[in-house]
């Protein structure tokens, strides 16, 4: 009996997916990043959150559902003490009212999981997530300042972690003038977080040593500056000094 039910649920979900793809232009495949290396040969790797991330999201869904249900039952029992029939009617009404939002929320969890993609090339990282509003962020490895792995106790139980990528950003008001504003890109819900972090760090080093120039045919570099971490640190110190002097 369970297999037909699963097939029906999969069929219904596939129908919803098809509708979103056709009418709301929700991309189903991984985003693409144009190759920037002359002659091709640039690596292009796409991946999604681990299966444990879906279980992690469902845990919070069921936790909220149980808390709401317990609250409604307590409220109904309290009313039943004085007016039994009214309490029973209210309990049934409450259950019907929360059924539709709970079904939509459960569907949204699966859609969130299926629409989250991460893409890495030799030069950049692209993160895409979202259903109604699609957020797509591209981070070049030259702009990354820090990469860390975050894992809470519940994430540890589901065998997943987040990789937090911090980049230097601009903006801010006059009080923040001269200060660096950090922006973040989060690769959430992956099982091989340490491997992804090390891969990003390796490509950061390659980007720094290679500079910002493009390669011409035959592997010759065009206007390539070789920046080292010491150079970047010195430049940041100079910028900070200039900011202090301007204030």
Q: Which domain holds residue 131?
A: 123-247
In whole angstroms, give the CA distance from residue 186 to residue 163.
6
Domain assignment present for 28: no
Structural domain includes residue 78: no
- The domain total for the chain is 1
pTM: 0.67
Model confidence over 51-62: pLDDT tens digits? 999 999 999 999
Return the number of other C-beta atoms located less than 10 Å from residue 210's C-beta.
Answer: 19
Q: Is 70 among the domain residues?
A: no
Q: What angle do CA 208, 213, 217 make, to 5 degrees?
A: 125
pLDDT for the residue numbered 161: 96
Q: Is 144 exposed, middle or buried (0-12, 13-18, 19+ CB in 10 A)?
A: buried
Q: Looking at the domain assignment, is residue 199 inside a domain?
A: yes
Alpha helices in 177-223 (DSSP H): 193-210
Note the pLDDT of residue 223: 41
Residue 160 lies in a domain: yes
Tokens of 149: 């792995």
Is residue 123 within 8 Å of residue 152, measured between CB atoms?
no
pLDDT in tens, 174-226: 444 444 445 888 999 999 999 999 999 988 888 766 554 444 444 444 344 45
CA-to-CA separations, 246 to 3, 63, 241, in angstroms, rounded: 70, 53, 9
């Amino acid at each position: 009996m369970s297999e037909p039910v699963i097939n029906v649920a999969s069929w219904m979900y596939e129908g919803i997916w098809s509708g979103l793809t056709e009418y709301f232009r929700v991309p189903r495949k991984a985003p693409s990043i144009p190759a920037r290396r002359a002659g091709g040969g640039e690596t292009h790797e796409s991946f999604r959150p681990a299966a444990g991330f879906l279980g992690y999201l469902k845990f919070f869904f069921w936790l909220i559902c149980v808390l709401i249900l317990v609250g409604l039952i307590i409220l109904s029992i309290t009313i039943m003490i004085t007016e039994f029939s009214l309490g029973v009617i209210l309990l049934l009404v409450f259950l019907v009212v929360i059924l539709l939002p709970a079904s939509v929320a459960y569907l949204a969890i699966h859609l969130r999981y299926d629409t989250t993609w991460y893409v890495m090339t030799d030069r950049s990282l692209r993160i895409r997530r979202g259903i109604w509003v699609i957020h797509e962020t591209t981070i070049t490895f030259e702009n990354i300042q820090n990469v860390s792995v975050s894992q809470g106790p519940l994430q540890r139980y589901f065998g997943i972690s987040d990789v937090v990528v911090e980049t230097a950003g601009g903006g801010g008001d006059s009080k923040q003038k001269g200060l660096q504003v950090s922006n973040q890109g989060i690769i959430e819900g992956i099982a091989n977080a340490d491997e992804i972090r090390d891969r990003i760090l390796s490509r950061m080093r390659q980007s720094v040593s290679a500079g910002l120039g493009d390669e011409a045919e035959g592997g010759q570099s065009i206007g390539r500056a070789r920046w080292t971490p010491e150079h970047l640190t010195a430049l940041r110190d100079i910028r900070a000094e200039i900011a202090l002097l301007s204030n």
